[in-house]
Amino acid sequence: MQAESNGSDHPIEVVLVAGMSGAGRTTVANVLEDMDWYVVDNLPPQMMRPLVELVARADGALPKIAVVIDAKGRTKYAELQATISDFVDQGLSLRIVFLDASDEVLVRRFESTRRPHPLQGEGTLLEGIEAERVELESLKHRADIIVDTSDLNVHQLSAEVRKRFSDDDTPPLRLTVMSFGFKYGLPKDADHIADVRFLPNPYWIPHLRGHNGLDSDVAEYVLEQNGAEEFIDRYAATLSTVAEGYLHEGRGYAMIGIGCTGGKHRSVAISERVGRLLSAQTGIPVTVRHRDLGRE
């Protein structure tokens, strides 16, 4: 839906994510959330318009909304059709993404998770799937995008969603390089950890002790040490290869931790340099953070 917020020039884009249970709605929701969409799962149809009106008052802070329709919530699809018609009658556009898969694939997916179909009741798994197809038939006909996930794995579906919903302002992958001090513990959410304690510690240089890796005198000292530039070049090249793999697999975010003893000198200087080099080599936005700087 493209709508103008009250008195604002900020358009609001709304996507309705629907489809067969087991066809990948959760995967689509996760990818859209990684792409900075505001995702609402299992929202009753009658709450869609109040949600959009509420977001409109945010004055552009939440311009993209994805509403996931889930059969587990016993959605009344007749009400949903009425809500969609209301959007159309008001001259607003609503994009509907419908996820489908063959009966055989859906049966296999449910059997692998050992969970019943939400519409199965006292019947068989296949009867639950057939009942859902009947309820969703009219919604499928109104869909703007239909994705058959029968032959797609999670990574392929993620890539398909990113391809369809990415724009020039949406980076396909976001990287964070974080300096830290080992004495304060490892970053729990780091995907890669590098240890730069093999370099001489500026802490033992009296005139550098009170400074940190953001200061030019400390950075120059660290980068002039034997092995520093070689490490930076090789590690950035390795991370560039890893980033290419993440892009191929449809991953949206990764964090690289670079540590020294206290997270004040060496790791800070190296993180700054690795972040700049990695961004230049890949073209991917890289955020550099310093977890423990100023902690002492």
Q: Binding site residues for ATP, as ranges?
A: 19-26
**Residues within the annotated binding site?**
19-26
Phi, psi for 96 (deg, rounded to 5): -115, 125
What 3-state DSSP class applies to 174? strand
Instruction: Name 228's Cβ contacts closer than 8 Å, sequence gap at least 6.
Output: 199, 222, 270
Strand partners, 257: 178, 193
Are the beta carbons of 178 and 190 closer than 8 angstroms?
yes
Q: Where do the H-state alpha helices sit in the chain?
A: 25-34, 48-56, 77-89, 103-113, 125-142, 154-165, 206-209, 216-223, 228-249, 266-282
d(CA 187, CA 256): 9
